[in-house]
Structure 1
């Protein structure tokens, strides 16, 4: 599902991948989501943390390099596994290719190599035998 970015309090021209992560962090935490909950019971490994969790819904923001796609998807599976049983559904939030194009053209922000909504949707069916938890994909567009 594509959603259109429309929060007037956010300066779109400043949204690089890292600043977008910080912006979403502030928004999700202000709505009561737990920040960076560990996937495993051991929080020593920062990569084994989900971005947000609330009411058994795990959320990952995919704004980094496209190579993180598999790792992010496996976090959902591991967190839903019977031994850990932390989530019932995963929500994967990313930006669209159009978002990347507009950011480059209008604001000179380089999103090249970043994960996109379209890539997640294209690759997700290839993971269906390994990932048994439902994953809802949101693409943020301009």
Structure 2
């Protein structure tokens, strides 16, 4: 899969200090294809049908499953808690020391909370040096969820948030937008 990128507060430069991790992240993104997404989506529809349920129309869950599998294969910790305690639900999708990844194929109202979660992981808990935020470009959202494409997180909207809330979002972020 092709992708666009944006570096907030030198996120890419900091990530370049660990080229192995950067290449690992980018290779995961590049290894995903539209055919892979379609196959995962069809599989999930089959499972839903077997359970007597209606499957998801959008392909967000399929993408999340693919990312979960690919990052797990590379030793990333899934669902890393930012704060200790069972009642704490702030989590990064994937984590390795100094790096946190959030994969966002959800409603655009979550952008602020997602970025705040990366901010807390960096500035409050000192778990990461840079956050990686993976979402989709507006163009690709039309494939992922044609019905909801205007209400989902997009690369362009997230980039706008980072540019306009720079004084507030002080954590370095490497933004990746899936772009077929």
1:86 aligns to 2:111 (yes or no): no
Contact 2:37 2:63 in 1 (8 A): no
Per the TM alignment, residue 20 of structure 1 is displaced from its structure 2 partner at its CA by: 1.1
SS in 1 for 2:135: strand
Q: Please say if residues 5 and 140 of structure 1, whose CA atoms lie closer than 8 Å, have aligned partners that are also in contact.
A: no
TM-score by length of 2: 0.67
Match of residue 77 from structure 1: 119
Structure 1 or 2, whichever has the larger Rg, is 2
Deviation (angstroms), 1:6: 5.2
User: Could you say which residue in structure 2 is the equivalent of 1:7?
Assistant: 32
Count, aligned residues: 137
SS of equivalent residue, structure 1 residue 80? helix
In structure 2, the CA distance between the partners of 1:17 and 1:102, relative to structure 1 (3 Å rule), is closer
What TM-score do the two structures reach when normalised by structure 1?
A: 0.84
**Cα distance in 2 for residues equivalent to 1:141 and 1:125:** 20
Q: Are residues 1:97 and 2:138 paired?
A: yes
Deviating more after overlay: 12-21 vs 85-94: 12-21
Q: Which residue matches 2:61?
A: 18
Partners of 1:78 and 1:84 within 8 A in 2? yes
Q: Quote the RMSD (CA, aligned, Å).
A: 2.3
* Whole-angstrom distance in 1 between the partners of 2:78 and 2:31: 23
Larger helix proportion of the pair: 2
**Post-superposition offset of 1:59:** 0.3
